[in-house]
Chain A
Amino acid sequence: MEIPYEVTPRRDTGLYNAKLGVWLFLASEVMLFGGLFSAYVFLRLGVQDGVDNPWPWGVSVHKSYVWLGAINTLVLIASSVGVVFAWVALKERNWRKYQLYMYFVVSCALVFMCIKSVEYHSKLYKHHGIKLVDNSVMEGVIVDGSDRIRFTGEKLVIGLQGALPAVLKDLKGDAFPKFTVTEGPEGTVGEEIASASAFKAWFAKNRRAFYAKLADERQRFRAEKASGVENPKPVSAASSVTLTAAEPFSVAGRPRKILLHNATALNYRDGVKVEGKLVSDDILFEVHEVDLQLVLPTKQRESVVWNVIGDEHAKQHFFTLQAKKYQELAEYYKDRGGVIPEKQLRGRFLNVQYVHVAADGHGEEHGKDDKHAAVHTSEPKPTAGGGESEGHHGPSKVIAVPFDQVKFFGNHGPRYGNYYAIYFTMTALHGLHVVGGALVLLFFVVFGKKLYLKNPEHLANRVEVGGLFWHFVDLIWIFLFPIMYLL
């Protein structure tokens, strides 16, 4: 089917229809992003009272992200210039040039997405934060696997209703522990389970038996009630099973799946209980930075973070830096009445200090003028207690963070805080726009030759319209870059 198309502008609107259409579409896109920008303002204003994880104010927090963002800005601007030149090339009826410019634009989009994925990878897989009970925050890297609760199990108490126990995924070791059923419903006691697949089959079989028993019981109850028995025996079916292992087995419990744990028991959220002995629930953490913006200034010196880090040098350094910044503020306000507004003393500037806790026990500044204050994208280096020097700062100290001092820990994914939530929402939506726009432009260049030969002006209009969308995507990024990375 041929869709009728007018190349020339309509007399009543002064525009060709596609252009009017794309502007209507862009107007609604402004609303889409406008809502999110509004959300950004709300979240940013709301974060100040210390309810959420700290907002990474300014650039000192993530300087290498700034460079990634800046390069991406340049890439998008270059691609925008490319689109207008591609359109001009079509107007001048120069197919070869048009092709070149369009492929340039599409490769810019590719570069943009690659850089974006580097950034996402660093935030999601390489950088963590731990918030302690008094809201002090440490930024750094969790040593692989140490966020698990390490436990030596002897017994497993499971329920037969519901899904397969979550603990199965946390069992560590070469061989599946050999379990014997020591307590359980009739007929199960004494059964042996020696592999994960055998466990699944055993669990499925007994779950079916349990629900069958339950159904029978219900039927019995109804029948007895109908036949007029006074106080019939309540419905009951045994579902609890105790499995005893032949040898103690290791469990690496995922904290999110565990409700409570103590020295002798691990209680999973799905009701499964592991009995045995706790090995360790410490989180091994390579500290890069300390952030006290959520701790009252009067409480900062006694903050639990200093006990956890156990490094007097880092602590001294933190407060030396704070005093220096206070001086800067005092200097600034000296000619302006001499009083520093309390707003300035809060959160964002004075109480955020970036202290590199080095393995040799000397704090170093990660401040504004530090060219090497790159984001810590390095792999976790379990070099506790020194070792060879790594990079500019040397290895960071790896400390053991006691589990009961931790309020929250996680990667810098959307749930880490309001900043990361809105960052991922907006940049991901923008990224989808980049991908969509690039696909459309790629279509125009790969499959455009036929239309070009038939009616070049038609193709030029298409490219203009696609280009309008592309410029819009660029325009959104122009705002996203400063608000997400710089300010």
Chain B
Amino acid sequence: MADATHDFSKHKKTYTAVGIALFVFTAVTVAVGLVPWFDIGPPGPDGADFVLGLAVAATKASFVALIFMHLNHEKGLIYKLLLFTFLFFLGLMVLTIFADHDPIREQYDTLETTRGWLTDKPEKP
């Protein structure tokens, strides 16, 4: 790559194509929030929409990382480095399973105890 006589016209085409793809995916991301057709799972914002939104974001991110940041033809040392980053990042995300961990509440087998839902069933509107 460090060679000045290298032909870059092919690269330029790739970069333009990726740029356009990223624009399109941005539109999809917005649509996941706005257009009912993209509202997968139960109506309204929920876990399924979140997963879809993050999947689109991850696709965009991998385009940026692989093409723009040249990770698709990078040296092995960088992958070794990023492996550690990935593992630590994974650790940070795994930490969040403790968010819903509550040994006191778990004695009562349902989440609904927290807001008085067991005694106070919602009225059907």
Contacts and interface: CB of A to CB of B under 8 A. Distances in A.
5 contacts: A45-B99, A80-B19, A85-B15, A481-B26, A482-B54
Interface in A258-283: none
Contact of A333 (B22, B42, B78): B42
B93 interface: yes
Nearest to A13: B77
A384 interface: no
Interface stretch (A238-246, A320-328, A427-435): A320-328
Interface of A is mostly: helix
A27 B81 contact: yes
Given A37-B92, A66-B34, A342-B117, A332 B125 contact: no
Interface string B45-84: 1100110011011001100110011000001111001101
Nearest to A352: B44
Contacts of B65: 471, 475
Interface stretch (A28-36, A188-196, A413-421): A28-36
B17 to A, nearest CB: 10
Lowest 10 CB-CB distances: which A-B pairs, in order? A486-B33, A58-B45, A349-B44, A14-B75, A81-B19, A297-B122, A45-B99, A41-B96, A38-B92, A27-B85
Interface in A289-342: 296-298, 319, 322-323, 325-326, 328-329, 332-333, 342
A279 to B, nearest CB: 39
Given A91-B6, A487-B33, A297 B64 contact: no
A101 B125 CA distance: 58
Interface string A375-406: 00000000000000000000000000000000
Contacts of B104: none
Given A38-B93, A45-B99, A49-B115, A80 B81 contact: no
Contact of A23 (B81, B112, B121): B81
Nearest to A294: B115
Contact of A481 (B29, B68, B76): B29
A183 interface: no
B23 to A, nearest CB: 6
Interface residues of B, number: 64
Contact of A474 (B30, B43, B64, B75): B64
Contacts of B54: 479, 482-483, 487
B56 to A, nearest CB: 7
Given A8-B2, A34-B88, A297 B123 contact: yes
A326 B64 contact: no
Interface of A: 7-9, 13-15, 20, 23-24, 27, 30-31, 34-35, 37-38, 41-42, 45-46, 49-50, 57-59, 66, 70, 73-74, 77-78, 80-81, 83-85, 88, 91-93, 296-298, 319, 322-323, 325-326, 328-329, 332-333, 342-346, 348-349, 368, 456-457, 467-468, 471-472, 474-475, 478-479, 481-483, 485-487
Given A24-B81, A487-B53, A323 B68 contact: no
Given A41-B96, A486-B33, A471 B69 contact: yes
B30 A66 contact: yes
Nearest to B121: A298
A472 B57 contact: no
Given A15-B77, A298-B120, A457-B4, A478 B43 contact: no
Given A349-B44, A485-B33, A45 B100 contact: yes
A350 B82 CA distance: 43
Interface in B1-15: 2, 4, 6, 8, 11-12, 15
Nearest to A333: B42
A117 B22 CA distance: 24
B43 A329 contact: yes
Contacts of B15: 81, 84-85, 88
B123 to A, nearest CB: 5
Interface in B97-125: 99-100, 111-112, 114-117, 120-125
B57 A349 contact: no
A323 B124 CA distance: 9
Given A478-B57, A482-B32, A296 B115 contact: yes
A486 B45 CA distance: 9
Nearest to B7: A92
A88 B45 contact: no
Contacts of B26: 70, 73-74, 77, 481
A145 B34 CA distance: 36
B8 A59 contact: no
B8 to A, nearest CB: 5
B96 A42 contact: yes
Contacts of A31: 85, 88-89, 92
